[in-house]
Amino acid sequence: MMSEILFNPDFVARIFLSISILIFIYIIKRAVVHYINKRIENITLRHNYRKLTVYIFTAISLLALGFIWIRRVNFGIIFSIVGAGLVIALSDLILSFFGWLFIIIRKPFEVGERVQIGSVKGDVIDIRAFYVTLLEIEGWIKEEQSTGRIVHIPHNFIFRNPVYNYTKGFDFIWNEIKITVTFESNYKKAKEICLKFLNEFHNSWAKDLDKKIKHAQDIYAIYYDKLTPTVYVKIVESGVLLSLRYLVEPHKRRYSENFLYENILDEFSKADDINFAYTTYRISK
């Protein structure tokens, strides 16, 4: 029985045809992969295209073998199975492609804007068909400074993670720095000093702020009653807490803090009735 099958002309022809087709598909696949390696410089994109190529040619091979070896073929069932398999195997790439379409149409962010995607923060430096590229900020470096790392994030994140945009619609963010003085300090004088330098920084760039706010309100329902800097006072365990709240451009956040801290430190050092509060420990026997 086995010998009859092995020497059956139809069986031999199918074996020969199957091997020929697999060799032909393998050669084509290698040629495509070689072209991808040669033409695409980006490592992440090159890797994704290679994976996609392998998936596609594997599916073509299985489909071709099915046509050869299954006599009574229900093409509807085969296409359904193959289609379902491709959808599952390529689900991330498919979602990334639709995420790219969403980004192009709805524009939740654009190149040059600062965003936070999930736990990753950075400046958008490129948007491709399957991923967005960020120049990372923060990471192991605090105060939202650049780490120098390039981060590639597939577009499927748009359906799975919140996206925070620092500049879309409204070009500024609110920032706060906190200073604590002792209970014995003249906190009103300390507050006046803080407001002095807050207003000095604010006035150095906020000439067209009202126009920018009006433009943002034409797009989004943004309501701000007070746009000028302010200092809030609060009693805490170690003294009087002064919270300096002000508007700043996202990329100048650290510069603004450095400007305020340096000037406030210099001014406080000249005042005999203002002292910083800090945690102290006493050991009693």
Please tell me the predicted confidence (pLDDT) of residue 43.
79
- Contact, 68 vs 14, CB < 8 A? yes
**Cβ neighbour number for residue 255 with a 10 Å cutoff:** 12
- Where along the chain do its domains lie? 2-89, 108-165, 173-270
Side chain identity, residue 159: F
CATH no., domain 108-165: 2.30.30.60
Q: What is the pLDDT of residue 227?
A: 79
Query: 48 to each of 29, 75, 161, 250, 273, how far by Cα in Å?
Result: 15, 30, 21, 33, 64
pLDDT of residue 224: 67
The low-confidence residues of the chain, meaning pLDDT below 50, are 1-2
> Taking Cα atoms as reference points, which of 144, 156, 36, 30 lies closest to residue 98?
156
pLDDT at 273: 93
Q: How far is CA 112 from CA 34, 109, 123, 133, in A?
A: 34, 9, 6, 11
Q: What is the pTM of this model?
A: 0.61
Q: Which fold has domain 173-270?
A: Alpha-Beta Plaits (3.30.70)
pLDDT score of 7: 57
pLDDT (0 to 100) of residue 79: 64
